[in-house]
Structure 1
Amino acid sequence: MSSDETPNVPTPRNSREAVREKAQKVHAQQSRARLMRRIIIGAVAIIAVGAVGTAVTLAVSAQVSKPQLTPTGMESDGVIVNDIDAIAASDETLGTPVPEPTEAAATATPTPAPEPTAPERVEIHVYVDYLAPDAGEFERANARQLASWISEGAVTVSYHPVALLTASSNGTKYSLRAAAAAACVATHSPDKFYAFNRDLLSNQPKVGTDGFSDAQLANAAAAVGVDDAKAVRSCIEDGDFVTWAKEATTRALDGPLAGSDDLVLSSAPMIVANGEAYVGALDDPAEFSNFMLTIDNDASQQSNETPTPTPTPTATPTP
């Protein structure tokens, strides 16, 4: 049986056009998708850059708005120690016996004697890093005789907090923070600086450990009886003088050190007396005492050296 109807079979030409049209639609969809992705990525990038810029602006603004803080009560980045009651030597100095006057001496007219000139005090500058074991060793060995010399008025002692071992405390920067904490005590409770200074040097953390936290440093300051514990704690925990401690260390490294002409900081501790660096044993009080005796003798000789007056010729009368 035959039929005149023919099946609806697409010709090869129509098939190619259909495939081409479909491919064009797919390509258009992919192009739109790529365009949308680019727009989204660009928008995200703009937002991210804006956020970073805002953060940087806020950080810079905060730094600019926060004033550069400098501790008070210091000279040449050092604190002069006056209150040494906590460690003053217990031995009393025996006075020279005064003979009782005789009757002849009592009736005789006393000859006025010139008042002795007080010798100049030897200036001692001690540069300390509160993490340096040698700094603690020197303090433990020489604290008592330093206190005795201060009490006698023979010396003035200035402590200069520095930070040479900032990178030796597991990233906590203990040396820097401890130096800044000492500056906080010197500013807000200067009469307790020496007690705090001695406590940090007597109870040092080991090199390579985290050291004490800011809260622990503030607790140590409170334990020595600072006058305004709240202000000291805020100063320490806010890091008010961290920048100062860093800059003070740089100044010491560049030199010259206080009281010297050309010395620069080369170690901690570094002890300078009347411009001369002590290079002896840090744990030997006798050797340090001999060094100080030499410095004192040199200072006394210089003060006693007075120029001899040149006699004025007297005119001889003419006969």
Structure 2
Amino acid sequence: MSTGGPTQPRPTRNERREAAREKARLLREEQKKRDRRNRLLIQGGVVVAILAVAGLVIGLVLQSTKPAGPGPANMASDGILLVGGENGIEAVATPAIADGEDPTPTEPDESGTVANIVTYIDYLCPYCGQFETTNNETMRTMVESGAATLEVHPIAILTNKSAGTQYSLRAANAAACVAEYSPEAFFDFNGLMFENQPEELSAGLSNDEIKDIAAEAGASSSVNACIDETRFKGWVQAATQRALEGPIPNSELDAVTGTPTVLVNGKQYVGSLEDTAEFQAFVLQAAGESYSESNGTPTPTPTPTPAAG
């Protein structure tokens, strides 16, 4: 007795051929569907890639053409003006430069009794380091005593000289951050930045190291986010361009051609960067000439130094 099902007739050759053709047709249709899906995916990917590239290009264009942005408070002249006060060296408070606005030149003391010292410095410039470390305490004494004012303009002309880290720009931005949030600490911050000055062509100081210097100078922690964000990058670039294009206010100088550029009552100091006595003499001479001009008296001729016997 059989336990199997009914016997099925074997397909004929024609039936097998038709079945094979149908199977091939179904496979071809399935392949066409897969090819169509792949083309759509590829086309979609290309569109996404094109949109991404377009977005990047637009972003770069907007970044390059966007306004410099507001400058830091207390630097309306593109520099911070430091004067003697009851608590030592203080910054003259000024509003920030608004978007698209030009800086407001400082009105110098024209009495002839105060020397107006103006410096344009780059924190990576080794010559600036020589001048600043040599004359830091001299300028501190002059400003604290009321014999002089000091206006510091941080600019960034050596941005491409720090192994790709843009140290000059980051350092000038940090100075702007201190001017904005802790102006009373600016003089000490400026001095410490040159005491810890990195070598040109090195990577420079990191943001964390700059923040440590700001804290050592007495700046509040409010400067930290400003330093990390390079908040005043646009202003630094614009202020640098203004200095390089000129004219330089309150002087006969057409433009800054290098750093340090040091002016006393509008006259450029071109003496030794490492001789504080020579700089002091220049300050006294410039102040004396301004006093004579303001009072209508002849400028005294400096007494020549006797020759060594």
Q: Same fold (TM over 0.5)?
A: yes
Q: Name the residue aligned to 2:81.
A: 80
Deviation at 1:249, TM superposition (A): 0.5
Q: Name the residue aligned to 2:275.
A: 284
Provide the secondary structure at the position in 2 that maps to 1:158: strand
Q: Name the residue aligned to 2:135.
A: 142
Deviation at 1:81, TM superposition (A): 1.8
Provide the secondary structure at the position in 1 that maps to 2:221: helix
Residue identity matched to 2:293: Q
Deviation at 1:288, TM superposition (A): 1.4
1:48-197 residue pairs with structure 2 within 5 A? 48-54=49-55, 68-82=69-83, 119-197=112-190
Q: Name the residue aligned to 2:231.
A: 240
Residue identity matched to 2:45: V
Structure number with greater Rg is 1
1:257 aligns with 2:248: yes
Residue identity matched to 1:192: A
Residues 55/118 of structure 1: CA separation in 2 closer, same or farther (3 Å cut): closer
Cα contact 2:71–2:235 (8 A) shared by 1: yes
Cα contact 1:87–1:147 (8 A) shared by 2: no
Residues 121/140 of structure 1: CA separation in 2 closer, same or farther (3 Å cut): same
Residues 270/54 of structure 1: CA separation in 2 closer, same or farther (3 Å cut): closer
Deviation at 1:261, TM superposition (A): 3.6
Q: Aligned partners of 2:268 and 2:62: how far apart in 1?
A: 44
Provide the secondary structure at the position in 1 that maps to 2:153: strand
Superposed CA RMSD in Å reads 3.6
Identical-pair percentage: 35
Q: Aligned partners of 1:67 and 1:289: how far apart in 2?
A: 37
Cα contact 1:125–1:258 (8 A) shared by 2: no
Deviation at 1:48, TM superposition (A): 1.3
Deviations 1:48-93 (A, max 9, x none): 12333455667788999999231001241111123699999xxxxx
Tell which deviates more after alignment, 38-47 or 246-255.
Answer: 38-47
Provide the secondary structure at the position in 2 that maps to 1:81: strand
Deviation at 1:294, TM superposition (A): 2.1
Provide the secondary structure at the position in 2 that maps to 1:156: strand
Residues 174/87 of structure 1: CA separation in 2 closer, same or farther (3 Å cut): farther
Provide the secondary structure at the position in 1 that maps to 2:193: helix
TM-score normalised by L of structure 2 = 0.71
Deviation at 1:119, TM superposition (A): 4.0
Structure 2 gaps, min length 5: 1-28, 90-109, 298-309
Structure 1 gaps, min length 5: 1-27, 89-116, 307-319
1:44 aligns with 2:35: no
Deviations 1:279-300 (A, max 9, x none): 1111111221222222122112
Deviations 1:168-217 (A, max 9, x none): 10010000000000000011011000110100011101111111111221
TM-score normalised by L of structure 1 = 0.69
Q: Name the residue aligned to 1:272.
A: 263
Cα contact 2:88–2:144 (8 A) shared by 1: no
Q: Aligned partners of 1:145 and 1:61: how far apart in 2?
A: 45
Cα contact 1:84–1:147 (8 A) shared by 2: no
Deviation at 1:149, TM superposition (A): 1.9
Q: Name the residue aligned to 1:300.
A: 291
Residues 60/142 of structure 1: CA separation in 2 closer, same or farther (3 Å cut): same
Cα contact 2:173–2:236 (8 A) shared by 1: yes
Cα contact 1:80–1:158 (8 A) shared by 2: yes
Cα contact 1:80–1:159 (8 A) shared by 2: yes
Residues 78/215 of structure 1: CA separation in 2 closer, same or farther (3 Å cut): same
What is the count of residue pairs matched by the alignment? 253
Residues 202/242 of structure 1: CA separation in 2 closer, same or farther (3 Å cut): same
Residue identity matched to 1:49: I
Cα contact 1:129–1:268 (8 A) shared by 2: yes
Q: Name the residue aligned to 1:14.
A: none
